[in-house]
Amino acid sequence: MALKVLLVEDDRELRQTLRDALTVEGYDVQTSASASDASALLKHSISSGAAFDLLLLDLGLPDGNGSDLLHQVRNQFNLPVLIISARHDEDHKVHLLDAGADDYLVKPFSISELLARMRVALRHRGTSVQAALTSYQSGHLAVDVTKHEVRIDKRLVKLTPTEFKLLARLVRQAGQVVTHRQLLSDVWGVEFLEHTHYLRLYMAQLRSKLEHNSTEPKLLLTEPGVGYRLCEPD
């Protein structure tokens, strides 16, 4: 059965382009040009027993900025939310990620990028076993969360406990962006939210141990102004 996607985007041209592209990929796409209309569609989807599997949400909408809708979704539904934003929405984007959006794409983005992010978000929600994750393997990297073992190309890499915690947190959301705030609170604790220099320091250490070339990271990617992403090859 086709996965149902709700696309909320007020730009008519982009809405049609995305709808067509996603339909070709086999998604069942419904569209909406406003937050209020999207909210009605979401409510209807529940009462009609045909819930959406994913929400694509533009931030700049004629009747709101996406926040209220995200709030409603987080309270009432369990579906992944991908934010579609323009570059100037930066602050807002971080706010929405902290509020529980799964990921974001900055316009203009390629369809293949969108599809890849959608797959990651759907997989994370579909499995919902993030807390129970015991091992992770992708590309050169292998992490045994239970044994606290990390390998690059099968070679054991020694990490400090904090480095391991940071890596494990990124592994839990592999392929998705994790905000500075989420990393600081989960690795160091909520009282460390302002200590972004910890992140820079520990990320540099992790890169020097895990990347082939730490000045050109391929694994631990920086999302400027937002956070970090553990790159997951398709």
Q: Summarize as ranges the residues that interact with Ca ion (CB under 5 A).
A: 10, 58, 60
CB of 5 to Ca ion, least distance (A): 17
Smallest separation (angstroms) from Ca ion to the CB of 11: 5
Cross-strand partners of 94: none
Residue position matching structure tokens 């579609």: 84
Please, what is the minimum distance in Å from the beta carbon of residue 60 to Ca ion?
Answer: 4
| Residue among 14 and 145 whose Cβ is closer to Ca ion | 14
Quote the least distance from Cβ 69 to Ca ion, whole Å.
13
User: Which H or E run contains 81?
Assistant: strand 81-85
SS3 6: strand
Residue type, 67: S
Question: Closer CB to Ca ion, residue 15 or residue 181?
Answer: 15
| Complex with Ca ion: residue 5 or 35, whichever CB lies closer | 35
Please give the distance of CA 218 from its chain centroid, rounded to a whole number: 17
Using alpha carbons, select from 61, 36, 48 the residue that is nearest to residue 4.
Answer: 48
Reported for 19-27, long-range contacts at CB under 8 A and 24+ positions apart, including other chains, are 21/111, 21/114, 25/115, 26/2, 27/2, 27/3
Closest contact distance (angstroms) between CB of 61 and Ca ion is 6
Nearer of residues 10 and 68 to Ca ion, judged by Cβ: 10
Q: Which C-beta is closer to Ca ion: that of 58 or that of 232?
A: 58
